[in-house]
Amino acid sequence: MGSVVSYFDQLCGQQQKKEEERCLRANDRPFNLSYHYANNAIKTSKYNIFTFLPLNLFEQFRRLANSYFLFLFILQVKLQPSLRFWALWRRFSSRISLYLAAFIFPSTGTSRPVPAAEKHPHSMMLPPPCFTVGTVGQLIPQIASLSWFTTAVPLVLVLSITAVKDATDDINRHKSDKQVNNRKVSVLIDGELQNEKWMNVQVGDVIKLENNQFVTADLLLLSSSEPLNLVYVETAELDGETNLKVKQALTVTGEMGDSIEALASFNGKVRCEPPNNRLDKFNGTLTVDGHTYSLDNDKVLLRGCTLRNTEWCFGLVIFGGPDTKLMQNSGKTTFKRTSVDHLMNVLVLCIFGFLASMCAVLTIGNAVWEMKEGSGFTVFLPREPGVDAPLSSFLAFWSYVIVLNTVVPISLYVSVEIIRLGNSFYIDWDRKMYYPKKDTPAQARTTTLNEELGQIKYIFSDKTGTLTQNIMAFNKCSINGKNYGELLDYSGQRMEITEKTPRVDFSWNQLADPKFIFHDHSLAETVREGNLEAQAFFRLLALCHTVMPEEKKEGELYYQAQSPDEGALVTAARNFGFVFRSRTPETITVVEMGEQVIYELLAVLDFNNVRKRMSVIVRNPEGKLTLYCKGADTIIYERLHSSCNKLMGVTTGHLNEYAGEGLRTLVLANRHLDEHYIKEWMQRHHEASTAIDGREEKLDGLYEEIEKDLLLLGATAVEDKLQDGVPQTIEQLVRAGINIWVLTGDKQETAENIGYSCNMLREEMKDVFIVSANSEEGVKEELVGARRKMCPTAAEAPTVFKARAGFFWLQKTETVHDDKVNGEYALVINGHSLAFALEKDLELELLRTACMCQTVICCRVTPLQKAQVVELIKKYKQAVTLAIGDGANDVSMIKAAHIGVGISGQEGMQAVLSSDFSFAQFRYLQRLLLVHGRWSYLRMCKFLQYFFYKNFTFTFVHFWYAFFCGFSAQTVYDEWFITMYNLVYTALPVLGMSLFDQDVNDRWSFQYPKLYSPGPLNVYFNKKLFVRCMIHSCYSSLILFFIPWAAMHDTVRDDGKDIADYQSFALLAQTCLLIVVNIQLCLDTHYWTAVNQFFVWGSLAVYFATTFTMYSNGMFLIFTSTFPFIGTARNSLNQPNVWLIILLTTLLCSLPVVAFRFIVIQLHPTVNDKVRQKVRKEALPAPAPRRPPVRRISTRRSGYAFSHAQGYGDLVTSRRFLLKRPLKSRPTLFQQTDSPLAQDQPQHYRNITEEPEQPVHY
């Protein structure tokens, strides 16, 4: 649809030139409006009241089947100017049908009443008026062999159901858009603040935000109520993280404060990048009074954020509405189709070809018959001028197109939509996927992709907020060679920690955090007993950090931590008696075991990704100088004093245990310093920090000099808390044959730790390859080296298999098959390396290497790279993909995948709004796939096989009958039976099977995840099975036509009267057909319910009741031309031989199927067959018990992971940090009690420096 709209825009001259640079001026609407920038209104709906009908019908008729049935409908109802010729043709063809019917059934004689109009001795062999070729009542009588309503009613029903569903969805989108667009915000207009709707905000407006308000648009931060012009924002809508981020305004704009006069007179000019979807980058300049200042991402507030812990701030609108980065990341909503849909489209094309072939054969038969036999009728029925055999054959072709159109019944698509809708309700109603803590049920947001859930081969998952809770917990520690945090029973065995395990009582500490949980009582006792090593350990944690404290009331401490790791460590020190209370640029105040101690802060040796450590130098009240250092074990060990070798060996053992459990570790050490040395070092440090050239290198050299001969104190182990059941879920999905890739923006160390925690990375793996090169050649070398190590015999060049698919096989596909690998491997690749690997020259090498590995983790990736990885798999693997995430940075990945799943609840809703399915916890994914997905796929495949079987069988009987009616397009069944066959008689039984059938229940599905494996391989429905279904239908149709025909050819009633007429044969054939297809459905059903029984037997009862009613005297007398089969039912179905024929036909159709299936199960049983056999013999498996985590010991890797950023040493030592702007009356910062900060969860900072901005002149 988008392409069509774009085309019309071009025609109308509305195609806008692509924006290359944005230029705007503050408080100058006329200037900004001249650029025609988008306003702040958003529009996610697709239609309006005028465009709905044409656009929706256009979309629906893009489906080939709908267009096909529209074509048939036109054939049946289009008015022709001349009816005289076609009336003559009707009379001619009617006589032919009369003769042929008499030829097939040479004698007549029934006990039913004969209408006065039927005077011909063979009148009962005449087809009903509406079935003869050329009925006067039809508007194209020359080809309309069926009534128009047999096509119109189903077509209108399908279009109406789909239109109502689309309209409902779009109405909900309109409501959502209206709610967002009508939010209010304070806008500075004409020198005063006015309340305006979001939709009326324009680019260049200055707006005011207050605490807990949503950010209206993408803003340049001008000023705030906080010191240093800082603001705190929550970015859950963007990246799914609940940690607070810090943004900082320029000093030149921050000086305006909240002065309305200064802000109203502000006329700064901004030049920046055009709208784009890069959430982590922004480039631009601000020109004020002739001076130009650079702008970056730290000075911009993005739409989707929420202002926290900041009384007010002012911002300048840069991007509005659809131009905001949030909406740019939403991307275009593409219409997703399942692989079953694509296969059905191909099969429908094949069926059209097959239909044309059948019609061509019958047309040739008609021509031959007209040439050889038709001339015999000219004696008593002379032809009109112009009517000859070629014309007769041409008309017969189109007549058979209408008669045989049931090979592609439109009711198929109605039924498919109903089945998908029903299976979607099962997901919505599933209590086992309901998360009570957040009152969040699972939701099928798209109702057309259910069976695709049963065919997933690749899962792409975000980490933060998806696999993890984004909460850090101080779990264990090693102090002076002793391990704390584990609980042992009396026999020395490790005990599992549960919610019922007694917790350490911290009531002795008045400043303890009540939410902190620890279970090892021995650690608290050690600290309280005065153990010097333990106290030094926690003293380091209380001093060596960049956390900002906030104490609103006496004793109520809240920590704002740049990284959740630091928040967890400082909170642990707080509870064990070393409470970080406050800080100034020169001091740190700590309450140690109830006594307040003020340390002088001399220097902060800041963290960065190369140093992998952080240190502080402090002087205690006694004047003792100490350096406290924490960092990665591999880095700290190199700087330890030789006297620590023995302790280092013991601590290494503990670190290996922690790393094996997936915990994030840091090593702690200290060093006592000499007063004279520190004075000299501080002088050199000052000179290095103020140097113009080589500043970083000089500082690094000084840091290396002082951070040596350290004394080891111990190690910490922090748990990045996984969501409940994540390792078990991943294990189940891997056992089901699904590949799981993690795509995260986190650092490599963090991603690796989560990989081990989730059991995706394991110590027993042969190797874990790290790809982190910074050049294309380096990335290629690392990828090729990994591939050669995994499979030395593999060819150097990948083998790409090319094929064609899609409509008319116009779509070209390329497939790269996996190389066989012995052993398990994993691949971890960084974002900068991935950028090179995704280039066209290296993408196949990346694909081959990654697909050889059991686990793939991509870290430091951008949203665009996430989508590119998904597209790579889709392009070369032809496999069904699923992407799961929780933030706006996952939206592109979610939309690129075949199935998008959003995690709802604690995090933002942007991913949910773009997803096809949503729930609150990652663990529900296994139920979505292994239960709902597998059942939906199995039901859909069984439905399609059965549906094609019953309709091909129905149609093939027409085909065989054509050879006995002179190829005159006469139908073998009653017209009402044809109309009601798919809509009434066989609709509910197949729907019952497709909605309620299950091979095994949900517990067995979890017990044997291998049951899922046939889905990705398309085992249950494919082209081979479709051909087998056609052969089965052909066999059944031969039985259903020739057995009744042969049995009734010379049959008489009990009273000696003849019953071998057309109407009796039609009744017998359609009765046999209906019973046989119902028996076949019973053979296909595995799980019987009362509903299934009711539908099957009820449908048969409805058939017989309807038949006796329509064939009654009363209906004939009231509607003579509509119900011509008067008395046929009561005169045929009261004969024993008729029922014997029905029984014989049923047995001949069903017994071979039963025998064939029995032999196949005995010789080649599938996984499904084996499990079902176990189900019959074994009891129902109990729910899987909660397994304690397996204890592993790492011997090859470090458990280090620390999500800290460089630059916070400058912030905490800034002399302006504590300078407060005078406040009138500051409200409580924690009005939202469920916010992460109010719950004392770790907060997050951005990189901020306090150096004044230098104007840049261009």
Question: Is 227 within 8 Å of 1217 (Cβ atoms)?
Answer: yes
Tell me which residue has tokens 């017994």. 1151
Element (H, E) at 880: strand 880-885
Distance, CA of 388 to CA of 145 (rounded, Å): 20
Tell me which residue has tokens 């950023």. 1205
Q: What is the 3-state secondary structure (H, E, C) of 816-837?
A: ECCCCCCCCEEEEEEHHHHHHH
Q: Which residues pair with 185 in a beta bridge?
A: 196
Question: Is 209 within 8 Å of 227 (Cβ atoms)?
Answer: no
DSSP character string of 10-78: HHTT--PPPP--EEEETT-HHHHHTTT---S--------TTTHHHHHHHHHTTSHHHHHHHHHHHHHH-
Q: Which of 337, 52, 18 is CA-nearest to residue 173?
A: 52
DSSP-derived letter for residue 440 is B
Distance, CA of 1089 to CA of 107 (rounded, Å): 48
Burial class (CB in 10 A: 0-12, 13-18, 19+), 258: middle
Distance, CA of 834 to CA of 776 (rounded, Å): 10
Distance, CA of 1157 to CA of 1163 (rounded, Å): 10
Which residues of the chain fall short of a pLDDT of 70? 1-17, 76-150, 236, 239-243, 330-334, 375, 377-387, 409, 492, 562, 805-810, 905-909, 1054-1060, 1114, 1116, 1119-1123, 1181-1258
Q: Which of 227, 247, 224 is CA-nearest to residue 235?
A: 247
Question: Is 213 within 8 Å of 307 (Cβ atoms)?
Answer: yes
Enter the tokens of residue 881: 């993909």
User: To 10 degrees, the CA torsion angle through 1242, 521, 628, 246?
Assistant: 0
Specify the 3-state DSSP secondary structure of 200: helix
Q: Which of 851, 858, 855, 866 is CA-nearest to residue 829?
A: 858
Amino acid at 809: W
DSSP-derived letter for residue 294 is E
Distance, CA of 518 to CA of 504 (rounded, Å): 6
Q: Which of 558, 562, 566 is CA-nearest to residue 513?
A: 558
pLDDT tens digits for range 1152-1188 = 999 999 999 999 999 989 999 888 887 776 666 555 5
DSSP character string of 75-86: HHH---S--HHH
∠138-141-146 over CA atoms, to 5°? 60
pLDDT value of residue 77: 66
Distance, CA of 24 to CA of 983 (rounded, Å): 62
User: CA distances (Å), 683 to each of 614, 678, 701, 1091, in order?
Assistant: 20, 8, 14, 87
pLDDT value of residue 1238: 35
Backbone angles phi, psi at 1113, to 5 degrees: -65, -40
Question: Is 574 within 8 Å of 589 (Cβ atoms)?
Answer: no
| Residues identified as active-site | 462
User: CA distances (Å), 59 to each of 1, 24, 53, 163, 859, in order?
Assistant: 7, 40, 10, 10, 40
DSSP character string of 996-1062: H--SS-HHHHHH-GGGGTTTTTT-SSSHHHHHHHHHHHHHHHHHHHHHHHHHHTT-B-TTS-B--SH
User: CA distances (Å), 1227 to each of 271, 617, 653, in order?
Assistant: 36, 37, 51
Q: Which of 410, 355, 401, 365 is CA-nearest to residue 144?
A: 401
For the chain, the maximum distance between any two Cα atoms, rounded to a whole number of angstroms, is: 133
pLDDT value of residue 111: 33
Helix 339-372 with 934-962: angle, nearest 10 deg:
0
Distance, CA of 400 to CA of 364 (rounded, Å): 12
Enter the tokens of residue 190: 């004409």
Tell me which residue has tokens 């049920």. 441
Helix 1062-1084 with 1023-1048: angle, nearest 10 deg:
140
Burial class (CB in 10 A: 0-12, 13-18, 19+), 54: exposed
DSSP character string of 330-348: H--------HHHHHHHHHH
User: CA distances (Å), 1209 to each of 238, 546, 1204, 1205, in order?
Assistant: 27, 7, 11, 10
- Quick count: other Cβ atoms within 10 Å of Cβ 1069? 24
DSSP-derived letter for residue 1255 is P
899-903 vs 917-919, strand pairing mode? parallel
Tell me which residue has tokens 């879920």. 729
pLDDT value of residue 821: 87
DSSP character string of 790-825: H-TTS-SS--EEEEEESGGG-EEEEEEPPPP-SS-E
pLDDT tens digits for range 7-34 = 344 444 444 567 889 999 999 999 999 9
Q: Give CB contacts under 8 A, 24+ apart, made by 1237-1241.
A: 1237/244, 1237/308, 1237/309, 1237/558, 1237/560, 1239/515, 1240/513, 1240/515, 1240/558, 1240/559, 1240/571, 1241/242, 1241/243, 1241/471, 1241/564, 1241/567
Distance, CA of 244 to CA of 238 (rounded, Å): 12
pLDDT value of residue 536: 95
Whether the model pTM is above 0.85: no
739-743 vs 855-859, strand pairing mode? parallel
Distance, CA of 603 to CA of 1213 (rounded, Å): 8
Question: Is 987 within 8 Å of 926 (Cβ atoms)?
Answer: no
- Its sign, for the CA torsion 998, 1002, 1007, 1011, is positive
Cα of 627 vs its chain's centroid, Å: 50
